Structure 1
Amino acid sequence: MEMKIPPDFEIDINTIKGFLDPIEGAALHQLAADASDLGPSLEVGSYCGKSTVYLGSACKRMDSILFAVDHHRGSEEHQPGEEYHDDELFDSRTQLMDSFHQFRMNMRAADLEEHVVPVVAPSVVAAKRWNTPLGLVFIDGGHSLEAALNDYRSWARHIVPGGFLAIHDIFPNPEDGGQAPYEIYKLALASGQFERVEMVKTLGILRRL
């Protein structure tokens, strides 16, 4: 993807916890800029806000809005005893994982509070009464098949014609990673409503027909 608007942050992106490759992040930044004339952007799965800064900084430059949907209780792999658990994000008072405090601090440090709207709720709950057409949906939520299917079915239908659907962590080879994001990527293509634009590392980019 041609980078027409390079990322420009008020925060050191490397200080934000997260798993997004900078090349994928730059592609998301450009997508959010390209989609801004079509409608606001929305991401599913914000964690501590690394992808949010890439997307939100483009929305800020284009005077658009990013909705950041996350319950901030972590996916399966973030829970105690799991591979990606982080003790710094575990709230000993509630005995629950909670990334929202870190997320909000990062949005403030990145000067994005006027362009990023946190939606602190499970994806399917946030989508129940959603009526706003979207120029971009980025899916990077839970990686179980159930969670990925719920995210796709909840949000892809709100993308306007010409808008983008981006799905993170696509691994066609099962030996490289989990298959749920790849399954919804294939489902979107098979629906006849989306066309392939580009694959940037593990980020699949589709356009709504």
Structure 2
Amino acid sequence: MIDFSTAWASVADVDGWMTDGQARALYDASASAPEGGTIVEIGSFQGRSTIILASAAPDGATVTAIDPHAGNDRGPQEIEGYADDAESDHARFNANLQRAGVADRVRHLRMFSDEALGEVAEIDVLYIDGAHRYGPALADIRQWGAKVRPGGTMLIHDSFSSIGVTGAIGRELLWSQRWRYVGRSRSLAIYRADTGVSSWKNAGRQLAQVPWFAKNVILKVLISAKILRGREWPY
């Protein structure tokens, strides 16, 4: 295991969307997996979050990073049309993992998340940061979330920020009696696979994030319309 400060420093020059607080949440979740456990990431881009997860992974744990590096869903406002960047993203992903010293801890599946479902059985820690549109986000939460063991953790990036991801959360998790909402670090929501979850209390804690979600949507509209210039895309 690599300590958090070292891991965070190692991703300073790696492109991606992850705050230090979000990195800490990912690191702690990965570190909580049992020895020999299974950690899965959906959406790796150039390896920023992958490095954090792999740095914290216990001995013998498997870190599976799923990303097709196909030039689509690369980040905010980069949904498709970036095929020319696909190979460079893939090369940078591998180079970044090598430079951080975690390449031997990561199993990369270069495929779309729905194509990789048969490659992984049960999961201890699941991090979802794939396509942010409603349909793909819902499929990832539903299909991959079903693989998480009782007591396991699911983290979802762009929660209460992306309209598609938030809609998927509302559909699948808002009234869930299996997934307990633990909290969030900005747009990184943390859920735990639990039993006896109070659906009303759980829903209330998630609905309390709606004002923050509304603020993010307004900011994105203003940034996209170039009314707010020089403002960072909220994540």
Tell me the TM-score normalized by structure 2: 0.72
- From 50, 53, 56, give the equivalent of 2:51: 53
Aligned counterpart for 2:126 among listed residues 130, 137, 149:
137
**Which residue in 2 is equivalent to 1:148?**
137
- Unaligned regions of 5+ residues in structure 1, if any? 172-176
Structure 1 residues 74 and 35: alpha-carbon distance in aligned structure 2, compared to 1, 3 A threshold:
farther
Indicate whether 1:24 and 2:5 are aligned: no
Whether the 8 Å CA contact 1:25–1:51 is kept in 2: the answer is yes
Instruction: Find the counterpart in structure 2 of residue 71 from structure 1.
Output: 68
Separation of aligned partners in 1, 2:148 and 2:35: 13
Aligned pairs (5 A) from 1:1-209: 6-9=4-7, 12-37=10-35, 39-59=37-57, 61-76=58-73, 83-84=77-78, 91=84, 97-98=86-87, 99-127=89-117, 129-171=118-160, 177-186=161-170, 187-209=172-194
Q: Equivalents in 2 of 1:10, 1:25: separation in Å?
A: 7
Cα contact 2:8–2:20 (8 A) shared by 1: no
Q: 1:62 to 1:77 in 2, by over 3 A?
A: closer
Sequence identity percentage: 26
CA distance in 2, matches of 1:116, 1:11: 19
- What is the CA RMSD across the aligned residues, in angstroms? 2.5
Largest Rg, 1 or 2: 2
Closer, same or farther in 2 for the Cα pair 1:90/1:125, shift >3 Å? Answer: closer
Q: Give the SS at the match of 2:180.
A: strand
SS of the residue aligned with 2:45? coil
- How many residues are treated as equivalent by the alignment? 189
Given that residues 166 and 204 in structure 1 are in contact (C-alpha distance below 8 angstroms), is that contact kept between their aligned partners in structure 2? yes
Of structures 1 and 2, the one scoring higher in RCO (CA 8 A, sep 6+) is: 1
Bigger helix fraction? 2
**Conserved 8 A contact 1:38-1:160:** no
For 2:27 and 2:92, locate their aligned partners in 1 and report how far apart those are by CA, in whole Å.
21
1:77 Cα deviation after fit: 5.8
1:71 deviation in Å?
A: 0.5
Cα pair 2:36 2:59 within 8 Å, conserved: no
Deviation at 1:116, TM superposition (A): 0.7
The CA deviation at 1:150 is 1.9
> 1:9, 1:74 → 2: CA distance?
27
